[in-house]
Amino acid sequence: MMAENRKKRRVVFFVAAGLAVLVFVVIALRRQPPVVPIVNVTREDLSETITSNGKVEPIAPTIARAEFPAFVAKVMATEGQAVHRGQHILTLDAADMRAQLAQWRANLLKAQTDLRNAGAGGAPDELAQLRGDLRQAQVDVASLERTQKVLEQLATKQAATQDEVAQNRAALLKARSRVQVLQQRKEAMAQQATVNAQSASLQIGEAQDQVRSLEEKVRSAEVIAPMDGTLYSLPVRAGDYVKVGDVLAEMADLRHVRVRAFIDEPDLGWLAPHQDVQVTWDAHPGRTWTGLTEQIPKQVVPHGVRSVGEVLCSVENSKLELLPDVNVDVTILVRERHAALVVPRGAVRGDGDERYVFVVEGDTIHRRSISVGVASASKYEVLSGLALNDRVVIPRDQNLRDGMEVRAAEGS
């Protein structure tokens, strides 16, 4: 029994001794300064960029649209192929347009003829007949007037009877009446010619407009490449029925394209023309296209849930790899510094408008205010407050304070 009690006392002793050692170690560790990782202030080339998404657009595209409802008669090209200036792409069935054009050309010719006739006073055959009748009537009047004078003289000498005089006078009155009727008809024809001229002028104008419109529609039935480029969209096939305004083909020179970048509103103040641009596309991993900003937005517009400015960028596409309407990632270089004094972003803290770091001096750290310039994704340019090779702390969820003792872990 006594041996068993001694054994229990020894166990209790060892446990107590272990606890005492553990407490001593914890107290000793608590008295040691905390370990903090540090880095040296260095000089590096630093660039500040804006990254966003965008969409590729052709520059000065040619979009052929149907100008009249028709069936697609023939397609002579394929989507995506290179085309040359003057190359035929497709043809629409324009038989109805050609028939209408022939009719309106006939209408125009008739209206032009009517205008010429109206300008001459009337239809040539009618006018000639009227003029001939009027001249003959005037000749008849002159002849009867001479005969009347002779008969009246003869009647005074009783060489002619009064019946002859009366008969000639009646014929003269009839002839004069006919001259008057013909002159009135000529005046009426002239007045009608004026009305006809106005009507013909209106008809000519309408017919010319219709002829020009129909000629353009007939020409549009032949879709022809206006330049060397790429046929990047051909949504129709032979036999398709198209309505007015439907897209038939889209072509452009894709060696140079435009990227419309959607930049969030807070970043717009950094933008300017001719800044360097890099474009990437998930369809070609590792491939980068370069360009420049061209047009800076004057307003912001909604884009999904974002408020963005649309920045137009010109991008080189000599291998024709970027396609219209694809979504791309855009990086714009807004500022750049060479041999700048830099610190990691993780070393910089903020207190209101103040930016500060903890600088290691001996075994203690001191809070120091700094001003920063260009900021990359991982580093800040230091404009003031630090010198080359100063050692600054990169806090790791540690509660640091000015004048605190620390143990620096170089290069951590």
Number of structural domains in the chain: 3
217-249: string of b/e by CB count within 10 Å (b at 16+)?
Answer: bbebbebbbeeebbbbbbebeeeeebeeebebb
pLDDT of 23 above 60: no
Kindly report the three-state secondary structure assignment for every residue of 166-198: HHHHHHHHHHHHHHHHHHHHHHHHHHHHHHHHH
Q: What is the mean pLDDT of the chain?
A: 87
Domain C-terminal end among 313, 337, 361: 337
Same domain, 184 and 99: yes
Amino acid 118: pLDDT: 74
Percentage of the chain lying above the pLDDT 70 cut: 91
Convert the pLDDT of each residue in 190-234 to its tens digit: 677 677 788 888 999 999 999 999 999 999 999 999 999 999 999
Amino acid 151: pLDDT: 81
Which band of pLDDT confidence, cut at 50, 70 and 90, is reported for residue 356? very high
Same domain, 232 and 216: no
Is 20 contained in some domain? no
Which band of pLDDT confidence, cut at 50, 70 and 90, is reported for residue 164? confident
Amino acid 235: pLDDT: 96
Same domain, 143 and 81: no
Is 284 contained in some domain? yes
Of the listed ranges 23-27, 182-186, 267-271, 365-369, the least confidently predicted one is 23-27
> Most confidently modeled of 10-24, 94-108, 190-204?
94-108
Same domain, 139 and 203: yes
Amino acid 116: pLDDT: 82
Same domain, 82 and 231: yes
What CATH number corresponds to the domain at position 266? 2.40.30.170
- Report yes or no: 257 and 241 within 8 Å, Cβ to Cβ: no
> Domain range holding 80?
65-92+226-252
Same domain, 132 and 179: yes
Same domain, 185 and 100: yes
pLDDT of 4 above 80: no
Is 374 contained in some domain? no
Is 405 contained in some domain? no
Same domain, 108 and 213: yes
pLDDT of 15 above 70: no
Beta bridge partners of 79: none
Same domain, 280 and 171: no
pLDDT of 134 above 80: no
Same domain, 257 and 238: no
Which band of pLDDT confidence, cut at 50, 70 and 90, is reported for residue 10? low
Four-point Cα dihedral 206, 207, 212, 214, nearest 10: 110
Domain C-terminal end among 298, 318, 337: 337
Cα–Cα distance, 115 to 108 (Å, whole number): 11
Is 209 contained in some domain? yes
Is 42 contained in some domain? no
Which band of pLDDT confidence, cut at 50, 70 and 90, is reported for residue 137? confident
Is 139 contained in some domain? yes
Domain C-terminal end among 314, 337, 360: 337
* Burial class for 391, CB neighbours closer than 10 Å (0-12, 13-18, 19+): middle
Angle of helix 95-120 versus helix 124-156 axis, rounded to 10: 20
Is 167 contained in some domain? yes
* Average confidence (pLDDT) over 58-62: 93
Same domain, 102 and 176: yes
pLDDT of 295 above 70: yes
What CATH number corresponds to the domain at position 72? 2.40.50.100
